Amino acid sequence: MRDGFQMVIGVPLERMIFKLWKHELLGSTWVKQLGLPRRVVEQQLDTRLILHVNPRELVHIRDWRELPKRRRPSSSAFIWNGDWDLRREDLRYGSRYRFISDIDIHRDDLTVSDTFRGLKARVDSGQPWSSHQQGLLLDTEERILIYLRVYLNFMDDMALNGFDQQKGKDELGVAVSRDGRLIKINRGLHRLAMAQYLGLPTVPVKVKAVHQDWWEKVTQKTHGAKALERMVKALQYCVPETEPGPLDPQSFPESFIWPPGKGSHR
């Protein structure tokens, strides 16, 4: 129902208001204040929003888990204001990277991995892990092992053939901070963790949002199509944020050692 509503009403409406802004028609200032409709910006710019980065440099993700929803940027907007970019989490110490490294280290006997033990403990307690979105229920040891082997097979394919965007349902989304740095946002975190663990030289990421301060800086008071062109050119100079943020909810060790790279360097 949600997707149908977006296709029939949401997207056409967003296209209409974006047209007002792009051609600097009446109401364009109001559209800009709303942050520009993200979906339409993506349709307009398409591959021009894609950048190629070293996955081991893309180590910070926005963290607003404890922020009230009213203070979080809208996922439907392309221009975000506020302090969202100053509050980050370090992906090197996140659950996805721990998961990927754990199952690879114990690939010869997954039953001794921390991941298997954790999932098995949930089965034993009568609360097996499930995902309604993926249609999964890990209520037996066999199902747990099949689930873990799927990730290992995916990682082995990535090591052999490199990163294939078509093999994942979601793009690796990033947002541009006020300083022009790339910060990871949700989706594709397991695939990014695989690329980091394997030491792939590059992965494609797509810009899903930009900070309002950076937008104003690079567009230099231009509007409409000209502002978009200036923004696209400035994106080519954006690199991943490698430093912690001043509002990070927790600190992490300064030193981190990546495992030896073993991925495709085609």
pLDDT tens by residue, 219-239: 998 888 899 999 999 999 999
**pLDDT score recorded for residue 121:** 97
With a pLDDT cut of 90, the percent of the chain lying above it is: 64
**pLDDT score recorded for residue 5:** 43
The answer on pLDDT for 189 being more than 80 is: yes
pLDDT tens by residue, 89-127: 999 999 999 999 999 999 999 999 999 999 999 999 999
Host domain of residue 119 = 97-160
How would residue 264 be classed by pLDDT, with cut points 50, 70 and 90? low
Distance CA 49, CA 44 (A): 10
- pTM for the full predicted model: 0.88
Domain assignment of residue 208, yes or no:
no
Task: Find all residues with CB under 8 Å of 190, minimum gap 6, and list them.
Answer: 96, 99, 100, 151
The answer on pLDDT for 28 being more than 90 is: no
Contact of 154 with 194, CB cutoff 8 Å? yes
Report the domain count for the chain.
Answer: 1
**pLDDT score recorded for residue 224:** 87
Give me the amino acid identity at 36: L
How would residue 265 be classed by pLDDT, with cut points 50, 70 and 90? very low
pLDDT tens by residue, 39-56: 889 999 999 999 999 999
How would residue 73 be classed by pLDDT, with cut points 50, 70 and 90? confident
* Backbone angle region of 202, left / alpha / beta, with phi > 0 → left and psi within -120 to 50 → alpha: beta
**pLDDT score recorded for residue 51:** 97
With a pLDDT cut of 70, the percent of the chain lying above it is: 88
Domain assignment of residue 44, yes or no:
no
**pLDDT score recorded for residue 26:** 54
66 or 104: which leads in pLDDT: 104
The answer on pLDDT for 18 being more than 90 is: no
Domain assignment of residue 45, yes or no:
no
Distance CA 74, CA 165 (A): 25
**pLDDT score recorded for residue 75:** 86
Average pLDDT value for the chain = 88
Question: Stretch 27-48: mean pLDDT, rounded?
Answer: 79
Domain assignment of residue 183, yes or no:
no
**pLDDT score recorded for residue 167:** 77
How would residue 266 be classed by pLDDT, with cut points 50, 70 and 90? very low
**pLDDT score recorded for residue 72:** 84
Beta bridge partners of 113: none
Domain assignment of residue 8, yes or no:
no
Domain assignment of residue 111, yes or no:
yes
Domain assignment of residue 197, yes or no:
no
